[in-house]
């Protein structure tokens, strides 16, 4: 089983490792890099617990080989905290609005919501529900997740306006 030299940027840091090409990105992050925020839920691209941001796209890391991600820029939930280590607005809103219970889907949810708000800073409830439809949660019934994302959008927009 020949290994390949893999190089990528993860949460702003350059990483290099030897890995089998078949290793799934989720295992590479979790086992080689000890980045255990992204989780494994369904393994068939339905649940989104493994969602990471890869070159500006939300992807399910259970269905990407590390070889495909060679050279990529990857951000996980760990990379979304503010520079001073405090919770980002989105993370804070999940807490504020009780958008999580067991916490297992949360890293994928927040990582996906982060990209959604980058692309659509002012989404409707319908757009949030559609934009988050690749992420499953067993605990919350989504109502508070949707509320949290809408609240984060409002707060981020207010901050942007204030800055202008």
Partner 1 sequence: MIPGVFEYHRPSTITEAAGLLTRFGDDARVLAGGHSLIPMMKLRVANPEHLIDLQDVGELKGVSITSDEISIGAMVTQHELIQNDALASAVPIIREAALQIADPQVRYVGTIGGNVANGDPGNDMPGLMQCLDASYEVAGDKGTRRIAAREFYEGAFFTALADDEILTRIVIAKPQAGSGYAYEKQKRKIGDYATAAAAVIVGPGIGSIAMTNLGDTPIWSAGANDALAKGDVDGAVNAVMAAISPASDNRGPAEFKKHLAGVILRRAIERAQGRAN
Partner 2 sequence: MTEAAQTREERATALKGLGTARKRVEDVRFTQGKGNYVDDIKLDGMLFGDFVRSPYAHAKVLSINTEAATALPGVVAVLTAADLEPLGLHWMPTLAGDKQMVLADGKVLFQGQEVAFVIAEDRYIAADAVELVEVEYEEQPVIVDPFKALEPDAPVLREDIRDQLEGAHGPRKHNNHIFTWEQGDKAATEAVLAGADVVAEEMVYYHRTHPCPLETCGCVASMDKVNGKLTLYGTFQAPHAVRTVASLISGIAEHNIRVISPDIGGGFGNKVGVYPGYICSVVASIVTGKPVKWVEDRIENLTSTAFARDYWMKGKIAATKDGKITGLWCHTTADHGAFDACADPTKFPAGFMNICTGSYDIPTAYLSVDGVYTNKAPGGVAYRCSFRVTEAAYFIERMIEVLAIKLGMDAAELRRINFIRADQFPYQSALGWEYDSGNYHAAWEKAMKAVDYEGLRAEQAKRLEDFKAGKTRKLMGIGLTHFTEIVGAGPVKNCDILGLGMFDSCEIRIHPTGSAIARLGTISQGQGHATTFAQILASEIGIPADDITVEEGDTDTAPYGLGTYGSRSTPVAGAATAMAGRKIRAKAQMIAAYLLEVHDDDVEFDVDRFVVKGAPERFKTMKEIAFASYNQAIPGVEPGLEAVSYYDPPNMTYPFGAYVCVVDVDVDTGVTDIRQFYALDDCGTRINPMIIEGQVHGGLTEALAIAMGQEMAYDEIGNVKTATLMDFFWPSPFETPNYQTDWTTTPSPHHPIGAKGVGESPNVGGVPCFSNAVHDAFRPFGLTQTNMPHDHWRVWKVAHDLGLHG
Q: Which CB atom, from 58 or from 140, has the smaller least distance to partner 2?
A: 140
Site for partner 2 in 29-58 (CB under 8 A): 30-31, 34-44, 46-47, 49
* Binding residues vs partner 1 (CB under 8 A): 1-2, 4, 20-22, 24, 43-46, 48, 51, 57-60, 63-65, 67-68, 70, 112, 116, 130-134
Nearest to 42 by CA among 111, 129, 138: 138
Residue among 9 and 134 whose Cβ is closer to partner 2: 134
Tokens of 92: 């804070």
CB of 45 to partner 1, least distance (A): 6
Q: Are 22 and 69 in contact (CB under 8 A)?
A: no
Q: Is 110 in the site for partner 2 (CB under 8 A)?
A: yes
Report which of 65, 66, 41, 62 is spatially closest to residue 52, judged by C-alpha positions.
62
Shortest CB 97 distance to partner 2, Å: 9
Q: Does 113 bind partner 2 (CB under 8 A)?
A: no
For residue 125, which phi and psi values (nearest 5 degrees)? -60, -45
CA 93 from centroid of its chain's CA atoms: 15
Output the CA–CA distances (angstroms, integers) from residue 144 to 46, 96, 120, 140, in the order listed: 21, 10, 19, 7
State which residue, 144 or 163, has the beta carbon closest to partner 2. Answer: 144
CA distance 153 to 143: 16
Does 141 sit near partner 2 (CB under 8 A)? yes
Tell me which residues touch partner 2 (CB under 8 A): 20, 22-23, 27, 30-31, 34-44, 46-47, 49, 76-78, 80-81, 87, 91-92, 94-96, 98, 100-107, 110, 128-130, 132-146
């Amino acid at each position: 089983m020949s290994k390949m030299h893999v190089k990528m940027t993860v949460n702003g840091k350059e990483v290099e490792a030897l890995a089998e090409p078949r290793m799934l990105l989720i295992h590479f992050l979790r086992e080689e890099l000890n980045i255990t925020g992204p989780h494994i839920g369904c393994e068939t691209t339905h649940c989104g617990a493994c969602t990471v941001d890869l070159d500006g796209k939300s992807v399910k890391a259970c269905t990407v080989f590390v070889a495909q991600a060679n050279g990529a820029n990857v951000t996980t939930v760990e990379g979304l905290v503010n520079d001073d280590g405090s919770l980002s607005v989105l993370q804070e809103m999940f807490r504020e609005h009780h958008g999580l219970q067991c916490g297992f889907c949360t890293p994928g949810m927040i990582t996906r919501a982060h990209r959604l708000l980058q692309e659509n800073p002012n989404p409707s409830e319908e757009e949030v529900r559609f934009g988050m439809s690749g992420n499953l949660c067993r605990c919350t019934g989504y109502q508070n997740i949707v509320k949290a994302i809408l609240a984060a959008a409002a707060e981020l927009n207010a901050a942007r306006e204030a800055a202008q």
